[in-house]
Amino acid sequence: MREPILPKKFIFNDNIDSAFLFNMYEDDFPYIEEIFKTTLDQLNSLIPEVESLFNGKDLNSLRKIIHKIKPAFGFTGFLYTEKACKDFEDASLNVTHVDGLSVLYHNLWILLAETMDIMQKQYDQLKEFNKP
């Protein structure tokens, strides 16, 4: 007698709020893969600007780009990174120069790099998972 075929299960990285993702997208893994791809494409073009704006001491533009990238992390379940962006954005409203954000910025920059690495790996795994 044959065993029933069980659906495949994808295990997300611990840095991703998988309950949030499943609540948003249910088990539509091809769509989740598409969301990750779209998000990576967007962020890969914007993240380098973050460093450039900080080094160029352009506080207003830095605040705007952080505001712009913030929801992308939420769409992919990186709620901690989304919150870190929100915290940075809020803090940027209380300073007049980027130098007042140095420590917060450096912590955020490290988190952004780690998050992007994890996101890319998860996207690659989703592509493999979704192969017929």
Contact yes or no for 59/96 (Cβ under 8 A): yes
* SS3 at position 72: helix
Task: Give the tens place of pLDDT for each residue, 79-97.
Answer: 999 999 999 999 999 999 9
Task: Give the tens place of pLDDT for each residue, 1-37.
Answer: 555 554 568 899 999 999 999 999 998 999 999 999 9
Task: Give the tens place of pLDDT for each residue, 45-58.
Answer: 999 999 999 999 99
What's the first-to-final CA gap in the chain, in angstroms? 25
Give the DSSP letter of residue 10: -
Q: Could you give the domains of the chain?
A: 29-130 (1.20.120)
Q: CB-side exposure of 19: number of CA atoms within 13 Å?
A: 0
